[in-house]
Structure 1
Amino acid sequence: MEIESPPVHRERIVPTGERRGLVLVHTGDGKGKSTAAFGLALRAHGRGKPVLIYQFMKVPSARFGEHRVFEQLGVPIIGLGDGFSWKSKDLEHSADLAREGWARAEATIRGGEHFLVVLDEIMYPLRYGWIALDAVLACLRERPPHVHVVLTGRGAPAELIELADTVTEMQMVKHHFKAGVPAQRGIED
């Protein structure tokens, strides 16, 4: 590692636009997409803003670490799916759940009662064709101006990246799973 001097001068850029709801996308093959979205949810909740989290691949009865803490904090986190496709016993049922889940999420976004709506792992049902990309894009364009939406998952479509205000691509540099270390409670769930 090369040592560098801390910066002492910084060019200050003054924003000229108005504050408005943002569309944020967390995508890529690296770890941390959902975790980053949950961090934003915690930040918004900490400021007293109403937050709602939809998880497109988790079952409604899921009790992972995030469910436990959000329940304690009073932040709704709703599983809309039946697990990842390789765990599903009926892919048509999975697709139906995704479409029903999208209808709920769309109503929430358009309703405008929440400051932040998280659409966790929505990229999977988009990529599988279970949810129409055009419908998601239209909802994001037409949402109330104060509503922020975070969408997570691998393989975000180019059209969604184009529409988004902020896109972060998580890149895997190294992952413990590739070294044979299994998933661990509190880290992956």
Structure 2
Amino acid sequence: MQLETPPTEKRYEKPEGERRGLLIVHTGDGKGKSTAAFGLALRAFGRTHVHGKRVKVYQFMKVPTARFGEHRMFEQLGLPVEGLGDGFSWKSKDLDHSAQLARDGWARARDTILAGDHFMVVLDELTYPLIYGWLPLDEVLQTLRQRPKDVHVVVTGRRCPPELIELADTVTEMTLVKHAFKAGIPAQRGIED
């Protein structure tokens, strides 16, 4: 490990631009995309719910009855999470039905974004319905461009379309360096559920 000297001077100038809603994308093959988005949702919820603004999480691949760790915790806090899908595509019994669920879910998410009542809207795993062709990319991009100026939107998922990356204000690519699953260790509850 290489040691560094702690900085003693600020390394950047404070931006002078206008505060506005951001489009944030977490993509890549590494772990942590949804986790990072949930962290932002919690941070936003902690700052804004006392001021009357809301935060909403839509999960495009999770079933509405999902009870993963984030669902249990968010429920206790009063932060709404809505599953819009029917699970992983390889578990789907009817991909046409999965596609329709994505379209119906997108209509709800789009309405939430455009209404402007939310400080932040998380679109977890949105990239999958986009790359599967279940949602029209142009419509999603148009909605994100037309959202009210104070609405933050966070998008997660692998293989994010370049057009969405171009539109985004902040993009983080999670890079897979090493993963326990590849060493034969199964998914762990509370870590990957």
The question of a shared fold, defined as TM-score above 0.5 by the shorter chain, is answered with: yes
Give the aligned residue type for 1:174: K
> Where does residue 86 of structure 2 map in the other structure?
82
Cα deviation for residue 11 of structure 1 reads 3.3
Pair 1:62-2:66 in alignment? yes
Residue 183 of structure 2 aligns to which amino acid in structure 1? Answer: A
Long gaps (5+) in structure 2: none
Question: Does the 8 Å contact 2:48/2:119 carry over to 1?
Answer: no
- SS of the counterpart of 1:162? helix
TM, length-normalised to structure 1 = 0.98
Runs of 4+ in 1 over 2 A off after TM superposition: none
Structure 1, gaps ≥5 residues long: none
Q: Among the aligned pairs, what percent are the same residue?
A: 72
2:118 match: secondary structure: coil
- Alignment map for 1:8-157 (pairs within 5 Å): 8-49=8-49, 50-157=54-161
Once residues 81 and 130 of structure 2 are traced to their aligned partners in structure 1, the CA distance between those partners, rounded to angstroms, is 20
Question: How far apart are 1:5 and its partner, in Å?
Answer: 1.3
Amino acid of the structure 1 residue aligned with 2:156: T
Q: TM-score, normalised by structure 2?
A: 0.96
Contact kept, 8 Å, 2:130 with 2:136, in 1: the verdict is yes
> Which amino acid letter does the alignment assign opposite residue 169 of structure 1?
E
Deviation sequence 1:47-106 (CA, Å, 0-9, x none): 134100000000000000000000000000000000011000000000000000000000
Q: How many residues align?
A: 189
**SS in structure 2 at match of 1:117:** strand
1:41 to partner: Cα distance: 0.3
Aligned mates of 1:14, 1:80 — CA distance in 2: 39
Letter of the 1:52 partner, please give it: K
Alignment RMSD (CA, Å):
0.7
